[in-house]
Amino acid sequence: MPLVPGEEPLESDRLILRRARAEDAVVYRRLWTERDPRVPPHRRIDAEGRPAVEDIAEQISAERDDAGARLLTVELKGTAEVIGYCGLIARGDGSADEPELAYELVQAAHNHGYATEAGEAVVAWARMAGYRRLRAGVWDWNTASRRVLEKLGFREIGRVEPESVHGHSLLTVKDL
């Protein structure tokens, strides 16, 4: 089954989820700068300032032609303010028929229910496309994301990777 479930943009009451554009790279890089220090170094800005906005813009442009990942830019309806991304990604630890739900929002958008709302839209999108199950990995210390996944109906089934200096990553699943 191709990872891309179908047409977008997706809409919810307060959000539009659309295909990423190169100009979204500014907000995507902001996400990198706002990440918790417990996030592994390969997911944070390095000593040389990478990834730079240009690096992220190039990656977005490359992914527009790739059916292997579909992270949609999340913007607020009415203002078109970009607040993050939400979508499906292929993971090495799951089959192609069980993509992973991934989302990240800028800190200013936290605690407004946007992650849950965006996740609901993507879960419905995946269900309509015929997926039977979704996965989501989450750090054990990330209580906010764990709550979002719980609200979306994901259940924790164990560890994805052993405990490290970063904590351990939990695997969650949702049967559709």
Q: What is the pLDDT of residue 161?
A: 61
Q: What is the pLDDT of residue 162?
A: 57
Q: Does this model's pTM top 0.85?
A: yes
Q: What is the pLDDT of residue 90?
A: 81
pLDDT at residue 95 is higher than 50: yes
pLDDT at residue 1 is higher than 50: no
The DSSP result for the chain, as a single string, is: --S--S---EE-SSEEEEE--GGGHHHHHHHHHHS-TTS-GGGS--TT-PSPHHHHHHHHHHHTT-TTEEEEEEEETTT--EEEEEEEE--TTS-TTSPEEEEEE-GGGTTSSHHHHHHHHHHHHHHHHT--EEEEEEETT-HHHHHHHHHTT-EEEEEEEEEETTEEEEEEEEE-
Report pLDDT digits (tens) over 4-34: 556 668 999 999 999 999 999 999 999 999 9
